[in-house]
């Protein structure tokens, strides 16, 4: 089943409200739709979200690296030449979202060709995941109202709260307001996107010690090598490595350094193939994982839930699968729905979703 062509199509869908966090903010889903065309007219699709403040990729760079570096090498290979495909991708450093979208679109082709859902090919553990919602920076009452709306409308009871602002009290107050409004039953955890110093992070964790936080993610920069080890050692809250651990080597370093005790897996940056490598590495090292969100649209979220539900250890915790709800529209024929706090894996072959050609024509920005 040879790859015959690859398209990288830029599109832009506005957000109803922006998502703000310590390293940036998102107003528009200015992603790249990647389509891998194979023999017999089989087409696989995935999306690449550029996150310049995290990985340096832009919409233009994702298109360029796919069109000029990867596509010429991949066309002509079979989608089942998996090691050869990854040798091509690995030869170029960085560009994680571009590589991940190519990998997932190729898996979509494999699934469609075999008439099987990708989630079953990956592991087939369960058919759904509990959902965690990411709450971005806003005044306390707005953050509380958003979490309450997610609980009331979608049954979501796990929230990741963005922190990393200055002064630290802005965030510790917001977390306290969320705990007081939502009660002891909801799960709350925090993600600093490297916004604080070691001392600020330590103070914040002390101030929030009575809030029952379950995880703390990327509170300080990865280069604070000793600071991270010290911080992780002094808190009883598991420390999640996210953007500091995007490749197996980085995952190993963060965990063996004592800089983190858990790892966030994001299909938007490691696709299905490398996400599985990271997962199996974590299993080997005895580290828990959480399915993270790179502010994915519905296609990206379908990929996350397909991967997360496929494995026992990625489906144990709630996955971050809901921020597409903030988008004004999306590309899929059949929108994803979160109900009773859960998202089911789409059931069709491949990733299991179809892009609506009219919506793509409306939102693409290259024509
Ligand atoms: C997260 O978990 O950090 C923010 C930036 C990014 O790349 O992902 C998000 C969410
Ligand atoms: Mg994070």
- Domain-by-domain residue ranges, the chain? 3-115, 120-344
Token pair for residue 328? 């004004």
**Ligand 1 centroid from CA 295, angstroms:** 7
Report yes or no for ipTM above 0.90.
yes
CATH, domain range 120-344? 3.20.20.120
Residue 93, classed as helix, strand or coil, is: coil
Q: Could you tell me if 120 and 97 are in contact, meaning their C-beta atoms sit under 8 angstroms apart? A: no
pLDDT tens for 348-362 read 999 999 999 999 999
Q: Could you tell me if 106 and 85 are in contact, meaning their C-beta atoms sit under 8 angstroms apart? A: yes
Q: Which residues are catalytic?
A: 162, 191, 217, 242, 266, 294
Verify whether ligand 1 is closer than 6 Å to residue 292 (CB atom).
Answer: yes
Verify whether ligand 1 is closer than 6 Å to residue 315 (CB atom).
Answer: no
Average pLDDT, the chain: 98
Report whether pLDDT(204) > 90. Answer: yes
Question: Candidates 15, 18, 23: which one to mutate for ligand 1, based on the most atoms within 8 Å of Cβ?
Answer: 23
CATH, domain range 3-115? 3.30.390.10
Verify whether ligand 1 is closer than 6 Å to residue 111 (CB atom).
Answer: no
**Ligand 1 centroid from CA 293, angstroms:** 6
pLDDT for residue 210: 98
Confidence category of residue 367, pLDDT binned at 50, 70, 90: confident
Verify whether ligand 1 is closer than 6 Å to residue 326 (CB atom).
Answer: no
Burial 351-365 (b: 16+ CB within 10 A, else e): bbbebbeebeeebee
């Amino acid at each position: 089943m040879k790859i015959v062509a690859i398209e990288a199509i830029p599109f832009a869908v506005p957000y109803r409200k922006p998502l703000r966090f310590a390293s940036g903010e998102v107003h528009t889903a200015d992603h790249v739709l990647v389509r891998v065309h194979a023999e017999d007219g089989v087409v696989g699709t995935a999306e690449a979200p550029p996150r310049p403040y995290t990985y340096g990729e832009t919409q233009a760079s994702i298109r360029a690296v796919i069109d000029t570096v990867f596509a010429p090498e991949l066309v002509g290979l079979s989608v089942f030449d998996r090691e050869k495909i990854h040798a091509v991708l690995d030869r170029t450093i960085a560009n994680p979202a571009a590589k991940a979208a190519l990998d997932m679109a190729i898996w979509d082709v494999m699934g469609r060709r075999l008439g099987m859902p990708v989630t079953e090919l990956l592991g087939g553990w369960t058919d759904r995941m509990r959902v965690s919602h990411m709450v971005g920076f806003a005044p306390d009452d707005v953050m509380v109202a958003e979490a309450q709306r997610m609980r009331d409308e979608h049954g979501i009871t796990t929230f990741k709260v963005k922190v990393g602002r200055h002064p630290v009290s802005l965030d510790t107050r917001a977390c306290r307001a969320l705990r007081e409004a939502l009660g002891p039953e909801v799960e709350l955890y925090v993600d600093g996107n490297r916004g604080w110093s070691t001392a600020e992070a330590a103070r914040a964790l002390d101030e929030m010690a009575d809030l029952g936080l379950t995880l703390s993610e990327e509170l300080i920069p990865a280069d604070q090598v000793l600071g991270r080890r010290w911080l992780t050692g002094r808190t009883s809250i598991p420390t999640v490595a996210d953007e500091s651990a995007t490749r197996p080597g980085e995952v190993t370093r963060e965990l063996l350094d004592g800089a983190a005790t858990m790892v966030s897996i994001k299909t938007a940056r490691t696709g299905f193939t490398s996400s599985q490598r990271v997962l199996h590495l974590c299993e080997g090292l005895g580290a828990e994982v959480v399915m993270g969100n790179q502010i994915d649209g519905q296609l990206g979220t379908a990929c996350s839930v397909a991967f997360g539900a496929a494995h026992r250890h990625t489906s144990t915790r709630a996955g971050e699968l809901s921020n597409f709800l903030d988008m004004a529209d999306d590309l899929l024929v059949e929108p994803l729905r979160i109900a009773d706090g859960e998202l089911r894996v789409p059931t069709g072959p491949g990733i299991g979703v179809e892009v609506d050609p009219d919506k793509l024509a409306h939102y693409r920005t290259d024509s």
